[in-house]
Amino acid sequence: MMNDKFLNDLAEVYEYLDLQKNNINKLITYLEDEQLDKLTIIEEFAQKLGLELDSNLRLALVTRLVNLRDDSLVQVLKKLGKKEDEVIALQEKAYCFVRDYWHEKHKNTVEYIKHNNLLTPFYQAIFEGVYKVGLKMSSWQSSWTAHIINGINKELLNMFEGDEKKVFEYLKKHKLFDLGHNNIEADRSYSALIKEKGEYKSKAYIESFKEQTTAVIDELEEFEEKLIELEDDIYNQKWDYILYIQALIKAFSENKTHLLVERWADVDRAWMKIKAPVQIGHPLEYYEDHFRKAVALEWDIRLTNPHFAQNDHRVNKIKAAFAKIFDKFEKSAKYQNTYDFSLKSLDKVQLYIGRPALFFGAEFNGLFSAQVVPNDEIVSKEEGKKIFAFSDEILQTSRAKPFLKLSREIFGQELLQKDREFLFNETDKWHQVYDISTIGHEYGHILWCDDETETVMNETGNFKNIEEFKATTGGLISFFLDSEDDEKDLEEHVLIDLVKRSVGLIGWMEVDEVQPYYCEGLIHLTGLFEVNILDFENEKLSIDLSSSKIEELKQWYVKTYSDLAQHYLDKKDATLFLEKFAKKEDKYFMPLDSKIKSFVEFYFNRYKEIGQELDKEDKKSNYIK
């Protein structure tokens, strides 16, 4: 009976979060309906930045506050003629405004749970503890970004006149990467470089950010003490949570850089034992830091949808496609070991479908739509992985997004109408497409990798820049090679989603931390143009999704993905694969194919020119039935 009440309470919290997000999304509706008197928060935001409001800035600030993305804001600031250092300063001010706004929302969530006596005292304490630690993580984020991303990394690039290859050689030569398991160079770091007497030294966070790290540790200790006094009568995971928090304290307190990866592996091990629907997220990903892959300051609660039932639907289709591709390769013990490693990881996956409840730190710079973690393959070999998918949140966000003039110009009304009718009226089928494209993507990360793949393939720093393509295509291949026909009716919508995503990723060209997704888009575009699903003439993109073209595209994906799988099995440097599709020109990768390149340049210029302009010719009311 107690468990029923808990699940009902969980459903109420989930509903509260849904309602809160709907209320925040109303800022977009006010913008679309030109109810500018209801956008006082955006006026405050502009004042905080010392900027004059116009329609472009208004949309960029709404996007920054509601969807946590700052690429639109950066483009607006560049259009206003702001220099690089001014843009960085304004990005930081914007981060602080967004942080404070969401902190208030999170505080309300914690108070709502306590005031209505929802869940149990133990889980109330988890929400409160995560919130208090989160405040400290968020205040640390600013100095982390200033020191690592805008400080050391820019210094290193200037030192070698923008030559990234030389930066990597320098870091390697001076042993400035953290050491991982078995004292080999790790694929990530939990430290920062500090300059002493003209030389860089690697120092653990407790030394490089002493004040901020100590504040986090103190709050974690308070959190631990609170949980010790309470009991988890529902899932009996009290000591799993406590051991996890103790592992975090130990990892944040570690000052020997060669022990950091092992300490954080212990955090991941402890975390993998927690299987309750209230999941705490800790520093796991490392996209922001291109050079040393310093792990970002993630901290959150992910809440599982109480109506979600575990199923093996997608993983079984992934496994079937994985076997079909692998069977084409020559047999060797080395290949078999990698294949078996991936297969065992797939078998140990815990899947959580839900939404973010509280989030802090780096997550005010963008929330993931799904995530597969931990990235430590030694831990995954022992414990498996967790996949988190925020499908309800993404659907809600997608429906709230404003219609943009750029979308109409590039994709045409016919394709947009089809896509919007699907988005607003086919909820169950939309979730199925999300399962293929997004949950499939997370499973796709697991394939063709063992415990040393990333380190070996990242010699020149481009592993992530092909890994995102590998992940998405893993999900697509499970759809394209599916011998069952239970998803056949979704084909057109999967392809529309792919086209829109591949083109849309061009807009991220100048956003360093999402460069892997931009590169992924360039590889997808190569396939779409090669089979003439996309063509670009006279500044106009034409789209042909006829069945014969789709069949050609499937063949392109099977061939390209097989080549990529071979590349991973041979553990060749990632740059060698990426350079088949794109090469770096100045700061950014550009497609090798001249037609695709001209389209990428055209789209990005239009994105800069009209990317923040609303489409006044179509309305959501045309689709909401």
Q: What percent of the chain has pLDDT over 70?
A: 100
Question: What's the whole-number mean pLDDT along residues 464-480?
Answer: 97
Query: Residue 384: pLDDT band by 50, 70, 90 thresholds?
Result: very high
How far the first Cα of the chain sits from its last, in Å, is: 39
428-444 pLDDT, tens per residue? 999 999 999 999 999 99
Contacts of residue 251, defined as CB under 8 A and 6 or more positions apart, other chains included, come to 190, 260, 263, 264, 266, 267
Residue 385: its pLDDT value, please? 94
Amino acid symbol at 96: C
Q: Residue 457's closest CA among 185, 182, 162?
A: 185
Residue 309 has pLDDT above 80, yes or no: no
88-109 in b/e form (b: 16+ CB < 10 A) is bebbeebbebbbebbbeebeeb
Give 519-588 as a DSSP string.
HHHHHHHHHHHHTTSEEEETTEEEE---HHHHHHHHHHHHHHHHHHHHHHHTT--HHHHHTTTEEEETTE
Tokens of 568: 């991973």
Please give the backbone phi and psi of residue 120, each rounded to the nearest 5 degrees, phi first: -130, 165
Residue 1 has pLDDT above 50, yes or no: no
Residue 438: its pLDDT value, please? 96
Contacts of residue 75, defined as CB under 8 A and 6 or more positions apart, other chains included, come to 60, 607, 608, 611, 612
How do 582-585 and 370-373 pair as beta strands? Answer: unpaired
Alpha-carbon span 327 to 572, nearest angstrom: 20
Question: What's the whole-number mean pLDDT along residues 442-467?
Answer: 94
Residue 261 has pLDDT above 90, yes or no: yes
Question: What's the whole-number mean pLDDT along residues 449-462?
Answer: 92
Alpha-carbon span 406 to 507, nearest angstrom: 11
Question: Is residue 208 within 8 Å of residue 244, measured between CB atoms?
Answer: no
Question: 623: helix, coil or strand?
Answer: coil
571-619 pLDDT, tens per residue? 999 999 999 999 999 889 999 999 999 999 999 999 999 999 999 999 9
How do 199-204 and 191-196 pair as beta strands? Answer: antiparallel
Which 8-state DSSP code applies to residue 306?
T
Residue 95: its pLDDT value, please? 98
Query: Residue 563: pLDDT band by 50, 70, 90 thresholds?
Result: very high
Residue 201 has pLDDT above 50, yes or no: yes
Alpha-carbon span 220 to 224, nearest angstrom: 6
Residue 287 has pLDDT above 90, yes or no: no
Question: Is residue 581 within 8 Å of residue 522, measured between CB atoms?
Answer: yes
Domain residue spans in the chain? 1-118, 120-276, 402-622
The whole-model pTM stands at 0.93
Alpha-carbon span 110 to 106, nearest angstrom: 6
Average pLDDT of every residue of the chain:
95
190-211 in b/e form (b: 16+ CB < 10 A) is bbbbeeeeeebbbbbbbebbee
Query: Residue 138: pLDDT band by 50, 70, 90 thresholds?
Result: very high
How do 588-591 and 199-204 pair as beta strands? Answer: unpaired
Give 481-516 as a DSSP string.
T-SS-TTGGGHHHHHHHHHHHHHHGGGGTT-GGGHH
Query: Residue 2: pLDDT band by 50, 70, 90 thresholds?
Result: low
Alpha-carbon span 622 to 321, nearest angstrom: 39
533-561 pLDDT, tens per residue? 999 999 999 999 999 999 999 999 999 99
Residue 311 has pLDDT above 90, yes or no: no
Beta bridge partners of 540: 537
Question: What's the whole-number mean pLDDT along residues 403-413?
Answer: 97
59-113 pLDDT, tens per residue? 999 999 999 999 999 999 999 999 999 999 999 999 999 999 999 999 999 999 9
